[in-house]
Amino acid sequence: MRACVPLIVAILCSLAWAVEEDPEEPEPFLGLEEEVLEAPASNLYTAPSSCRYRCHEAFDRHQPCHCNARCPEFGNCCKDFESLCGHEGFSYSRDAITKEGLQSISEKIYRADINKAQKEDIILNSQNRILPSETRDQVDRCPEPLFTYVNEKLFSKPTYAAFISLLNNYQRATGRGEHFDGQQLAEQDAFLREVMKTAVMKELYGFLRHQNRYISEQEFVSDLKNMWFGLYSRGNEEEDSSGFEHVFSGEIKKGKVTGFHNWIRFYMQEKEGLVDYYSHIYDGPWDSYPDVLAMQFRWDGYYKEVGSAFIGSSPEFEFALYSLCFIARPGKACQLSLGGYPLAIQTYPWDKSTYGNGKKYIATAYVVSSTR
């Protein structure tokens, strides 16, 4: 019997700017890959209710729960099946999503993003770059806005319009429960319908189906809805947050900005005078859009120490990459490639609530590195 043992390696030592944005959120898992090692004989015994050292074992009706590839179908998996057996070897080794596979599909998604901004659509004024050690100073070193010009005709494109309609559906303060009315639920469905029409999401679904993650587009869309719009508890009250709210819209927790990783949201809030751009510590190597910027800013009185975001990407592009990384590398740095440049995205599963068979909501997703 073989077991998956995480190999912890310090990969962020050369990426000093990629600090943890919220010390109360789960610590990032620093292993890029899981290394399959032979389990010592003394470790082969495990609790009967766990999948540790039991991934893909043959069905045994005497076991109280199971860890084989078909246990999700029968609803009799052990509670830790998804975390121990459900990724990097989803059912069998042939289904594993490799680093090379991630790089290949991310390049295809990058090329398929026909709705992204063109060079003439955005004029960015990044101004002063600071050192990572200065991010906590909360000093405004940029007197002018980040965005000098954005061609707002972009926002009339179906996926942009559907995305923007979602941004005002949330209370940004954690600890206050979210409640969606019929129209807001319809807006979630409309967004999913629009993004699924795009070449970006068709590439992603085709890849994941080939990897045996989903058997139908309907199953995939249902999972995306729960993954991104399902509510979980981030504060004292139940159901006060969601992956979409955190990543794209932004939240305030204990007097600090958390999440808020979307350029469209940033531009619209800056235009309204609610965002004050302070500085940046990283500007990506791309000479076209999408690009990556790691910045400091104040949002309606609350400070964001390091907020990384794609610039000029379409909503479906970000939605696809973050979903890919959450499915393929939950809780890990997800190594991708865009236009020949390496890039990593960190996601975090959130344990306070689950959907489906032990799957966890996406808690945060953000770009952690990009180097030549």
Catalytically active residues, by annotation: 246, 261, 304
Asked whether 204 and 336 are in contact (CB, 8 A), the reply is no
Is residue 90 helix, strand or coil?
coil
Rounded CA separation 319/322 (Å): 5
Residue 172's CB is within 10 A of a number of other CB atoms, namely: 19
CA distance 250 to 262: 9
Distance of CA 26 to the CA centre of its chain: 14
- 178, 241 Cβ separation under 8 angstroms: yes
Q: How far is CA 108 from the centre of its chain?
A: 18
Q: In sequence order, which residues have a C-beta less than 8 Å from that of residue 27 and are 6 or more positions away?
A: 20
Burial of 225 from C-beta contacts in 10 A (0-12 / 13-18 / 19+): middle
333 in Cβ contact with 28 (< 8 Å): yes
Radius of gyration of the chain (CA): 21
> CB of 294 within 8 A of CB of 17?
yes
**Sign, Cα dihedral of 126, 286, 307, 185:** positive
Distance of CA 121 to the CA centre of its chain: 26
CA distance 8 to 30: 6
The residue with tokens 């926002």 is: 155
